[in-house]
Amino acid sequence: MHLSAESGANSRDAMAEFFVPVERTLTEVLSEHPGELVKTGSPNVVCSALPSHWRSNKTLPVAFRVVSLGEVLDGTVVTIRAGNDDNYCAELRNATAVMKNQ
């Protein structure tokens, strides 16, 4: 099926309208909590900023927070996974939580 150039432009405009509110929300959340929250690989999720130098076997000084900007029902069980260039799958304790206050 071939689409006309006009219909392709309309779909691009519709997608732009869809993504702009998400980016605006992300910018607003990050500006409300400067230095506390950072972007992740997912556009609808932000999390606590980690200390720049922290030993891997030490407990974090404050609670690690994950904020979902998308719709997730209260009571949904979520699991966090982490990694870096050296260790693609980190060992995490208490990596499962239940979403609340959506």
Domains in the chain, CATH or no CATH each: 26-99 (2.60.40.720)
pLDDT band at residue 44, thresholds of 50, 70 and 90?
Answer: confident
pLDDT band at residue 77, thresholds of 50, 70 and 90?
Answer: very high
56-76 average pLDDT score: 81
Of the candidates 60, 69, 70, 71, which has an alpha carbon nearest to the alpha carbon of residue 94?
60
72-92 average pLDDT score: 83
Higher pLDDT, residue 53 or 15: 53
Distances (CA, A) of 61 to 36, 48, 54, 55, 64: 13, 12, 10, 11, 9
pLDDT at 28 over 70: yes
